[in-house]
Every structure is written in structure tokens, then in C-alpha cells.
Structure 1
Amino acid sequence: MGEIGTRDGDAADGVLAVLELLAKEAPQSAYDTLLDEAHGAGTDPDRLAGLTRAVALARSVRASASRRKQREAALTALVDTAHDLTSPYDIDGLLRLITRRARRLLGFDMAWLSLSRPDGSAYVRTSEGETTALNIGLELRTGSGLGSIAQQRRSPVWSADYLNDDTIVHAPGIDAVVRAESLHAIIAVPLRRGDSTLGALYGADRRVRRFTPDEIGLLLSLADLAAVALEKARLLEQTRDEVTELAAFGTRTNTALTRVRYLWECHARLAGLVLDGAGLATLAHATADALDGVLQVRDPGGRVLTVTGELPELDEESVTKAALQALTGRRPVRLSGEVWLAPVLAGAEDLGVLLLSASAPLAEEDVRLLGLAAQSVASLMLIQRGTAAAEGPVHDELLADLLERPHSFDLRLSERTRRLGIDLDRPHVVVVARPEGGELGRAVAWASSYAYRMGGLKGVRRGCIVLLLPGTDASAAAHRVSGELSPLLGHAVSTGAAGPAGGPGEVARVYAEAVRCLDALTALDGAGGTASLRELGFVGLLLSADHDVEAYIASTIGPVLEYDADRLTDLTRTLDAYFASGGSPTHAAEALHVHPNTVSRRLERITELLGEGWQKPGQALEIQMALRLRKTRAVLHARRSTQPHAPTTP
């Protein structure tokens, strides 16, 4: 009995020693040392077998505890990762966090993540632990590589030695990265979202090894968490983009509302100017200021009515085509650069166009404002036309009084002109226009509007339109009238002009001269043209009521006379000798007793002063007439100077 008790006590002591090692969490070597001591002490076989059994059980308990601790640590790390994934990240930041946690959680040498596209292809988006730049952005073909297989199966796929695994469909790009990074063991798990996958999460080691079920489960759990976080980040980013777009839309809407408010304010200001009786120039300047550009208003014939500044050079053919397009579409059209053209319409009637050269590109609201400005200009023209029609009889009566009673300009007549806003003390010219065909009624209506716009008077006498217009250049006034009226009527208009008149008492005389110019134009077979005393030359001198010889001479050879007076030359004598010798420089030189080269040089100087055409028959005749009149005037003056004075009667 004693031996049995001793053996039992020894066995209990051995088990107690094993339990003590287990409680101290001793390393594996401590258990080996305990067994070696038992063998060395000559422990009997039964006790040694019991001790060996106890050590084996202790090692099993120790391994279970170690695995439990590893699971607890992994679970804690997974919870921490889940917490981190709930923080707001952009997509790239979130993907970097996922690959970093996968690598650290499972101790991988390298981890990366791929994302799928809607067409089924995939690419590597982020990577952690790489030593080359080959991985980021790598295109992954469908059906090759572990990631594609994992997404198709929706379950983890791994290989202990990837490059030597013939069960996997290899791709050259993937194999090149694996070879460059010296990777062997690779695992891929899908990023699952419902019935689809977003991509795959990879882990890899640079040694051959097998992945444990705990590692596979842990990586799959991380991938599931990553898929949820990735979807949330995508939704958050999509929402952020939508909010940004809504904010931008709100800004654009506010800007548009501001522009619309400004547009209507400008339109109201333009309409107010029209109703206040502002002129076309004022309205054009207001429009140009509102649109920050230069505005030009043209009538249907293309004549410029007013302009606010200098426009860039325009191709008139392009302007004509754009005007036709604008009239057809009844909206502004764009020419080259920032030049726009808007039609001025009153119903179906074409009143002209607006040309705008903008300093900056026009927004849609600006183009709309340009169209509204064209409407305001059309309204102003119609109002002016109506005003002219209403005041037409008054203007006609006033002009008739000036023509029929030139010396009866009394205070009553002066008051009438003042009320009409006409200052007859300023220089005025008279234009007599005769349409060559068609009815006179349309021309009369136009003349009323034109006289109103120009601040003059209009009348009808002997089948012709008579216009008394402010200005000093009768010829230019006649050309303007003809240039605007002829396109309107569609046929030629003959115009005669004279002036300026220095006061109300001279209007009848100037009118008579304008009529004589028109008659002379007809007699010279010049119907459809324009004629003034200056344009008719010596004929105009004969037609003139005051026969202003001095003015005629000055207008014909004045530059030559001034040159002689300033430089004491003989260009005038050379002209006289040249014409007297029949246009021969040699004979003129003999008459002047100078060398022919001297005459040639003088004739060149005369050409510089009078222009290239002075030797043509028409101008040559004018020059000869001026030379003769000058010589005759000098002779008469000399005779008057030598006549004896009559004796004074005492």
C-alpha cells in the first residue's frame, strides 16, 4: 500500500508541476525541460506516461488559449477598423485605409485593392507595401487572376505559390507585378454588395505558405466592412456632388435673376426715354451703356442715323446677309467677333438695324436686351413719324411763308419758328428733290419724318419736295437726301441744292437757286443725279443770283493763287500761257521766255495743287473760265482806278 501511495503522490506532483507551468504561461521549452528532468531522474514508465499526457493536454489548452487571444485581438482590430470606416473619408482616403488595415491586421507583406467598372473590367486603385510602381493603375482582365475568380465565385480564393500554380488563369500584367515584387502566397476576397461585387481585396506574402481559415475569415470580414464603407462613401460623394451642383445651380439662378432684373430695368429706362421724347442719339447712347459697347443705328438703306463711337471695320456684304437673316428670324444675329446685328421692326415694316460691337461676349440676357432696345428704337421712330405727320401742315405753312413772303418775317413768324424748335438765324441749305417716277405720296411722308429728324422744314412745290435743312454744305445735304430717298422709293431721285442762307430773308433766294440747279441738271441730261452751284461750276455761277465771281475763282484756282502769293511764283501766268498755246509746254515756255523744263516743273506743281484731272476737258474749261474772269476783273478794277473823279459841286 505504501508503494502505491508513493506512486500516486509522485504522479500528482508531476501534474501539479504541469499546471503551474500552464498557469504561469510558460513557454514551450519549459514543458520540454520538465519532461527531460523526468527522464533523467529515472521516473518509472507509468509516471512518465502520465506526465507526458499532462504536458500534451497543457500544450493543447495553451494553444486554444492562444488562438482565442488571437481571435479576440483580431475581433478588436476589426471593431476598430469598422469604427474608423464610419468616419467621413473621400473614396481614395477610404481605400488607402482599407489596404493599410488589411496589411497590418494579417501581417501581409503587401496588400492592394481593385475596383470594378460597369463594363466588367477592373483596375488596381490603391496599394500598400509595394516596392515598385507597377501595381497602381494596373488593368485586370476579366477571367484572369485571383481577383476575377473571387468576384465570379463571390468567395475567397488563394494560392500558396501564385506563379507556380497552374490551376489559375494567369495574365502577363499581373504576373509581371508578382514577379517584380517577389510575391508567392496571394489571397483575394470579393468586396460584396448585395448580389454584385465592387472589386476585390488582396493580401500577399513574399514566401510560400498556406492561409489559415482564421486569416481567410478575418480578411473576408474586413472586405465586407470595406464594401459597406465604400458604398457609403460613394453615396456621400454623390450627395456632396449633388449638393455642390445644387449650390452652383442656385448661384446661376440668382445670377440669371439679377441679369433679368437688370434687363427689365434697362428696358424700362429705354421705354422711359422714348416716352419722354428723347432723340435717337440719346436712346442709342443709353443702349450702348447698358450693353457696354458701341452702337450704330442704320436705316433700311444702310445709311448711318447715329453712332455712339467707333465700330470695327465691317464687311458690308456680311452685314447685308446678317440683316436679311435677322429680318427673317426677327431676332438678333451675331457677326464676326463680338459684333451683333438686331432688326428694327414695326410689324412687318423694316425700319433699319442696330449694330452693336460689345466689349465682352454677350450673355443670353444681353442678346434679349439688344432685341428690346431695337423695339424701343422702332417705337421712337414711329412716334417721330407720327409727330412729323401731325406737325406737317404747320411746317408746310411756315416754309410757304418763307418762300412766298421773304421780306415779311415779323415777330409772329419768328414766334412760330421758335415754337417748332427751328433757329433760322443759323445757316440753312435748301434741297429740292424730284422723284423720277412713282407716286409722290410716299416721298412726302418720308420727307416729313426726315425734316423732323434733321430739325428742318418740308414742303411740296411744283411736284417736288422742298427741304430747308440746317447746315452749310448744300452738296452734301443733296447727296444725303438722294441716298436715303432713292432706296426707299426704288427709283432715281433728282436733287438740286443751294445755300447756305444767312437768315429768313434769304430762304426764297436760295430756293430759287436750288430750283435753277435742278433745272440745269435736267437740261444737261443728268436726271437722277445731284447738282449744287459748286458742282455745276461756271454754270452754277451763271445760275447764282448774286454771281459771286470771287468765290468761283477761289473754288477753281484758289490753291494756285495762294501758292503764287505765298512764294512769289508765276504758276498762274504759266497756266494762262499753257492754255493760250493750246496745251503745249514748249510754246508756253517761249511765251514766258523760260526754259521748257521750267514750264514742266511748274505744271507738275500745278498738278499737286489742283489734282490729277485738271487737264481734262471739263475741269480745264472751268480753269480757263476762272482765269478769264480774274483777268477781266483786274482790267475793270484798273479802269475804275484811272477814271478822273467828277468835280464836287460847290
Structure 2
Amino acid sequence: MTWLTALRALSAAATSENDLQQVLDLVADTARTLLGFDFCGVLTPDAAGESLVITGWSGLSALYVDRVNTDRPVRLDSGSPSSQAFHSGKPVAFRDITAEPEFTPWGGVAREQGYRAIVCVPLVAGDEILGTLNGYYSPVHTFTGYEIERLTLLANHAAIALTSAHRLDQLRQLNESLREQRDALTRSEQIHERLLGVTLRSGGLDGIAAVLAELIGRPVLIDDSRNVVLAKAGNDGELPDAAWRAAANIAAPQSSAPVPVGSAADPTRRFSVAIAKLSDDVAARIWFPARDTDLDPVAVRAVEHASIVISLELLRIGTAVEVEHRLRGELLADLLGSGAVISEQVLQRAHRLGHDLSRPHVAIVGALSVSGEPAETRLYQRSLSLVGDLVAPYQPRPLAAMHRGNIVTLWPITDESHESGSAAADLVQRAIGAVSRTVDATVAVSAQAADTATSYGEVYRTAKGALDIAVRAGRTNTVVELGDLGVLGLLLQLEDPAQLVAFARRTLGPVLDYDDLHHTDLVQTLRTYFASRHDRNRAAGRLHIHPNTVTQRLRRIEQLCSADLADPAVTLQFSAALTVQDVASLN
């Protein structure tokens, strides 16, 4: 083989369909043939850039190559002839490796391969060193400047060929990657269109679950963060039950990709779960069995697309629910603000929403609290959704909506008995309280129903007053009825709250005016004194003041009102005035 023929062959190989490994072997074989080496090798840096590995060779045994690359790596900081040539960019030659201490680590494998002399020439392409071209002789050999010059010339041409081959190899890999990405993108678009088509055809979450189960070849269950099943498809026996899902150890997800999870409920079973989010909240979870074979990339993409489509479907449902809540809220506000006579327009709006206002309705007013404090708005919205689920099957449908910070339900009854309203209130109280284990749900129900003689506003105000009094007294997480409140319940049903205000004003007016003018707490002191059964020491303890201060305040009240609090009749009058003031402020 002539030099010109050899260089032409290298150039042709570098631009052919040959892979990079074939070009490296050709470089080593060409050097061995042209320069008469017993063995020849091409060394290039490994992926970590820490060692040189033999990537092309001619004459070297596979065992030698494997041992050098695995057991005796040529580290770039080792001082070996190859590493010296790589770092310096200049040829390095050893006429006898046994006489070179720095070659000792490779002496054993060199003897097994059978060489004594080595020359290493850098493969230089522009300002980059790609590796080294090494020539080996079996006997001791003194390398002349001419030999090294010829090897260097070949190495320079080989470096150009390697650069071209490497770029072609990268281009082939890129093309293959682009083809794979194109195919995956096409498949991904088909999956997304199919899943999105389900929602456009109003297939709902059940339809999405069915399509996803078909795409991944496994049964699918979709639930929410409270373990309530939203949809499922496939064999129920392969899906996790509520206890397993509740005990599952799910780390905070960063993406919609499925991850395997276990559960303390049954450690022997494993499932995969993917998260569908709305904003930063977990809207739903997709469960399917984990098997010996993982999902392929297309199936993983199907799960990810399903999580997006589920989020869109839940957003659509949520938007529809919000609109429905708003319409029912507006209807409720109109009813509570009207008198006993309801306009035809309001009756028609109610009919379109499924409500029959020709029937008598009791008013059920609910409140939520957490550790004695009012619950946040989000909990109220979730509770209202639960009440909506409760009343949806009823015909005619009870009207449930938010009104002035409370959940109000107007429940139609066929029998105006006390028991009918009480039973409905129990149902509503349980539905509201199901939103969270940490929430106290309190509801109050009106004693009478709204009908042709009594307006919706009146029954609402009595129920709302009963609720506020119960909550203020610490009676929470229960159903409150007006009959439970004694005289307060009777006062709440008075038709004219102005009379209550006038009575309270006549009795407590001087004390109220004094408190307003001097920023004192005489009314609160009187209230606490009565609540303490006329025990001044106990009242002082509750007010965190000295008993003498209580005595002084009570004397001031007697002076202002020209009354004697030791008189039972006066005590009764003032107690009633304080009670009336509470009730009047609620109406």
C-alpha cells in the first residue's frame, strides 16, 4: 500500500457510512502497514476525561485491550508515554520499556502482548488534541527522527479523518435522535388529540380513564387528594383500594411523570402514580399497577398527557360549578331580600335551576371553624361542593349557596313538622363537616318554613341568629334548633326587631352612652357579673380585674340607671335587656 493510497482510503472512510470504530481501526491498521509496526493502537480520552482508552487497534489482542482499558487504565496524570504525548502535543518514544520506571504499571500486560519499544504521537486537529497514535515493536528499537516524522505525518492526516468521522457520527446520531423525536412527537400528538377528543365529546373522566388504560395496557384509577374515586377503567382487582391509597408514601411530585410508590397498608403490592395539578394544588392522581416491565417512553408520554387533559377536564367542571354556584347564590340573595310575595321572574329562574318555590322551605345555615376560629374561604367552597353533591339527587332540588360568609340551604319539605327540618339539617351538617377531620361544622335550622305567610328572609334570619348565638356560646359541631335556645329562640322569631332594640335601649341606654363617651366596659362587666351568678370575685377573675373594681363599676351602673341591682326585678330586667341586645344585633 502506498502512502497516497493509504491517505486516500482514510479520507474516503471518514466520509463514508462507516461508523467511528471502523475508522479508528483503519487508522491503526494503516499505521501498522505503512510503518512496519508489530502492533498499533489509537488512544482517545474516556467520557470522564480522566484516562486514555484504546478505541482502535491493529495486531493487539482483545485481552490486552480489555486489560488496559479496565485493569490498567492510562490515566492522563500518570506520566505514561501516551499521557505525556497527549499533554505536550509532541511525540514520545521509549526504545526499551523495561528501562523506563514510569512504564512499570503496564510492564506486565506489555510482556504478555510481547513488545519492548513504543512510540506515541499526538493526534492534532487544529488546536485540539484528539488522542494518540501508538506504534509498538516486539524487540528493543531506537526510533529515528525520520520514523517519528513519518508517523507524525500519518497522525495529522488521521486526525483530520477522525474529526470528519466524528462529526459524521454525531450527525448520524443527531439524525437518528431527530427521527426518534419526530416519531415520538407524532405519536404524542396522536395521544394528546385522542385524549383531548374525549373531553370535547363530553366523555368526562371515565372516558379519559378508558382511553389511557388502552394506551398503556394497564387498568387505571383516577382519584382526588381525599382518595375519592373520580373514574376508573380495567380490572378492579389490579387497582389499589382506598386504604392502600390513603397509606401510600407519595413524595411531593415535581412533574406529571409517573413514579412507583409503596404503602404501609400492603408493602407487597406496588403501584405507580402520576399527579394532575391545577395551579399548585393536586387536582387528581392517576394510579395503575407497577409491573416487572416499565412503561415505554410513549406510554409514559400518554400518562403525562392524560394528567394535562384531566386537569383541563377538572378545570372545566370547576368552572361550570362556579357558574352554577354564582347563579344559585344570586337567586338565594334575591329570595332572602324579598318579602313573602316572590316575583314571577324569580320563580322562573328558580324553576330553570331545578327549584320549586311553591313548596314550603326550611332555612339551614351552616358555619365552619377550625380550633375555634372561622375557617378559610377555600374550605367553605369545598364544603359547598359537598352540599351540592348531597342535594343534587333530590327533586325538587334544595337550594344551596354561599350568603354573607355562610352556607345557606333552603330545603323543601312536604311535611312542615319539626322532624323534617331537623333531618335535613342533620344531612347538611354531615356533608359540611366531611370537608376535613379538623373542621367543626355547625348548622342551625329555622323552626318554621317559608311559605305564603312567611318570607324566606324571615326564616333565614331566625336560623342565622340561632347559629350565631350557638357559636358565640361555644356550641359547635352540632345541629342547633330554635327550641334548644329557650327564650332566645322565642325572641329570634319576633317580627319587629325594632321593638327589641327600643327595649334594650330604654334599659341600658345610660350605660351604653357612658361606655361610648368614656371608653369603659360597664356593659361587659354587667354581662359577666350575671354570667357569674352575681359572684363579684368570680366576675373579677373572668375580667382579670380586682373585685373592688367590679364593685365600683356596678355602683356606677346603679347610679346611671337609678336602679338597685340587689332587687330581683331589676336583675331580671337588666338580664332580659342584655339578652335582647344580643338577639336584636343578630336580626
Q: TM range, normalised to the smaller chain?
A: 0.3 to 0.5
TM-score under structure 2 length normalisation: 0.47
TM-score where L is the length of structure 1: 0.43
Larger radius of gyration: 1
Q: Identify the structure with the greater helix proportion.
A: 1
Q: Which has the higher contact order (CA 8 A, sep 6+)?
A: 2
